[in-house]
Amino acid sequence: MRVRGLIVAVWLVGAATWITAQGALPGVEPLHDAGQDVTPAFEGWYQNPDGTYEMVFGYQNRNLKEEVDIPIGPGNRIEPGGPDQGQPTHFLTRRQWGLFTVTVPKDFGTTKKVTWTLTLRGRTNAIPGHLDRRWEVDSLKDGTVGNTPPVIRFVQGGASGQGPKPLMSTATARVGSPLVLDLWATDDAKSRTRNPTGAPIRVTWAKYRGTGDVVFDKPKPDVEKDTGRAATTATFATPGEYTLRAQVNDYSGEGGGGFQCCWTNVHVKVNVQ
């Protein structure tokens, strides 16, 4: 098992949040419902079987209630190779773990960087991604118990995805007409805890990109025990290009409990007419 500064940093952020929530301490800024900025987060990196690498990114929206939009461009860019490398433009509240990855070649080296920059309300925050060994994460397999992320398919028995690099699909929809979203999920049901609680697979849908409102019939659809199917619908208020994200967690929960394993991302690009 690798021990990294990442886990310590996550603990410190959580501790600071808890202290602030309890009351004001000198020099500690209280939490706000709205009006704050967004900070990108570099979660770490892992190597693919073909020798390339995935840099995993998430973010912290400092607002308790306000979701914000930052379009691709000078205020939301990834460099080099950007500005668009699959990052979100719609930011949910609070901490969101490992929503997407940036793939770099096998000869990328340890000195080069990929930087995600966000500017909102006159404040700019940037985070570099890199292949420093201290930031290697076990996103595809937990080294302690052998837990792996859920395996996801859009069609039962079809091509599968697993881990932070999103399984991609496309769809078309019409304004006001529900779009059916189907997933089939399986998991090894392994856990760090002896008696895990809750469902072994949990699916959560949210808007990832797009300027209009999206309403999900079931943002957290049940996963059928026999088939692994999780079904919901999304209804769009205005036409345009959207991306929807499904986060599929196992017993390890949000952010893998700080260990960066094990969840799977799904991105569905939707053309709404």
Indicate if the pLDDT at residue 260 is higher than 90: no
First CA to last CA across the chain, in angstroms? 49
Do 179 and 81 lie in one domain? The reply is no
Asked whether residue 261 is assigned to any structural domain, the reply reads: yes
Task: Please tell me whether residues 84 and 200 are part of one structural domain.
Answer: no
Q: Is the pLDDT of residue 14 over 70?
A: no
Q: Which residues of 240-264 are buried (b: 16+ CB within 10 A; e: fewer)?
A: eebbbbbbbbbbbbbbbbbbbbbbb
* Inside any domain, residue 144: no
End position of a domain, from candidates 135, 170, 201:
135
User: What are residue 187's phi and psi, to 5 degrees?
Assistant: -150, 155
Say yes or no: 173 and 228 in one domain: yes
Query: Residue 173 domain-assigned?
Result: yes
Going by the DSSP 8-state scheme, the letter that residue 7 receives in this structure is H
Mean pLDDT computed over every residue of the chain = 89
Residue 224 lies in a domain: yes
Q: What's the pLDDT band for 26 if we cut at 50, 70, 90?
A: low
Is 7 a residue whose pLDDT tops 50?
no
Residue 141 in any domain: the answer is: no
> Residue 227: pLDDT above 50?
yes
Strands 263-272 and 167-173: what pairing?
parallel
What pLDDT shows up at residue 229? 96
Beta bridge mates, 216: 234
The 10s digit of each residue's pLDDT in 167-217 is 999 999 999 999 999 999 999 988 888 888 778 999 999 999 999 999 999
In terms of domains, do 70 and 17 share one? yes
My answer on whether 123 and 175 are in the same domain is no
Residue 170 sits in the same domain as residue 262: yes
Mapped onto helix, strand or coil, the DSSP state of residue 15 is: helix
121 and 37 share a domain?
yes
In a domain, 143, yes or no: no
pLDDT at 27: 55
Mean pLDDT calculated for residue range 157-170: 95
Q: What is the structure's pLDDT at 6?
A: 42
Q: Is the pLDDT of residue 1 over 70?
A: no
CATH code for the domain in which residue 198 is found? 2.60.40.10
- Higher model confidence: residue 196 or residue 26? 196
Mean pLDDT of 133-156: 93
145 in any annotated domain? no
172 and 126 share a domain? no
Same domain as 20, residue 101: yes
Give SS3 for 145: coil
Domain count, the chain: 2
Q: Which of 107, 135, 163 is the last residue of a domain?
A: 135
Which domain, by its residues, includes 246? 151-272
- Determine whether 208 is exposed, middle or buried from the number of CB atoms within 10 Å of its CB (0-12, 13-18, 19+): buried
Of 266, 263, 267, 269, the C-alpha closest to 97 is: 263
Q: What is the DSSP letter of 198?
A: S
DSSP designation for 194: S
Say if residue 22 is in the same domain as residue 110.
yes
State the CB neighbour count (10 A cutoff) for residue 128: 14
Segment 80-95 shows an average pLDDT of 96
How much of the chain exceeds pLDDT 90, in percent? 77
pLDDT digits (tens, 9 = 90+) for 89-137: 999 999 999 999 999 999 999 999 999 999 999 999 999 999 999 999 9
Q: Which residues of 152-187 are buried (b: 16+ CB within 10 A; e: fewer)?
A: bbbeeeeebbbbbbbbebebebeeeeebebebbbbb
Tally Cβ neighbours within 10 Å of residue 195. Answer: 5
Average pLDDT score over residue span 223-239: 96
Is 266 within a domain? yes
- C-alpha 175/C-alpha 236 separation (Å) is 5
Tell me: do 165 and 114 sit in the same domain.
no
Question: What is the model's pTM?
Answer: 0.87
Whether residue 131 is found in the same domain as residue 157: no
Which of 85, 109, 135 corresponds to the end of one domain? 135
